[in-house]
Copies of this chain bind each other. A is one copy, B any other.
Amino acid sequence: MKGILFVLSGPSGTGKGTVCDELIKRGCGVSLSVSMTTRECREGETPGVTYHYVTKDEFKRNIENGEMLEYAQYGENYYGTPRSSVEEKLSEGMDVLLEIEPQGALQVKRKFPEAVLVFLVPPSMSELKRRLITRGREGEDEIDKRIETARWELTQAEKYNVHIVNDTLDECVDRVIEYFDEKRAERKKIEELINEKV
């Protein structure tokens, strides 16, 4: 039985990374896909674990050869998900988890309509703003820009399979795991029917 491709996405500041870390910590039976990037490896990061680090030429060659399931450019650098490693894991029966930006998530859905897209929803826009301010990565102008981007991303949310509100982390992660299990049960039922002799 082929694995399921789960994609966790949502506006910047909704807590994708934290939810994803917690999912892995709890051992919910998904293999995290390692992204590819052209940016430099920073201290504390491990090649092949944090990212696959490649040159711009290599990245562009991957795009041209249709090797990227999704990719985006931020500033000078490219970030993306190589198709081959995901498909390899899926064909071995492993469920794979991607944690990516909404634009990337919709690219994946177009190329891979059987992907299961989870949209993480902030409890409110004021809470989203508060989280962006608290994490302190962006200035005020950049935060306003992110809020506007979030509004646009919310208009795309209906293309996802399910919405899960990230109010308190534990409840959100519980719900994500419950949803993963629902999808696995669906898959198992379908597999049984396909194989049932009549």
- The majority secondary structure among interface residues of chain A is helix
Contacts of A198 in B (CB 8 A): 125-126, 128-129, 147
Copies of the polypeptide in the assembly: 2
A57 within 8 A of partner (CB)? no
A111 within 8 A of partner (CB)? no
Task: Sample 24 A-B pairs with CB under 8 A, ordered by A number.
Answer: A4-B158, A114-B158, A114-B159, A121-B189, A121-B190, A124-B193, A125-B193, A125-B196, A125-B197, A126-B196, A126-B198, A128-B198, A129-B198, A147-B198, A151-B194, A154-B193, A155-B190, A155-B194, A157-B186, A158-B187, A158-B190, A162-B186, A163-B189, A163-B190
List the interface of chain A (C-beta within 8 A of B). Answer: 4, 109, 113-114, 121-122, 124-126, 128-129, 147, 151, 154-155, 157-159, 161-163, 165, 186-187, 189-190, 193-194, 196-198
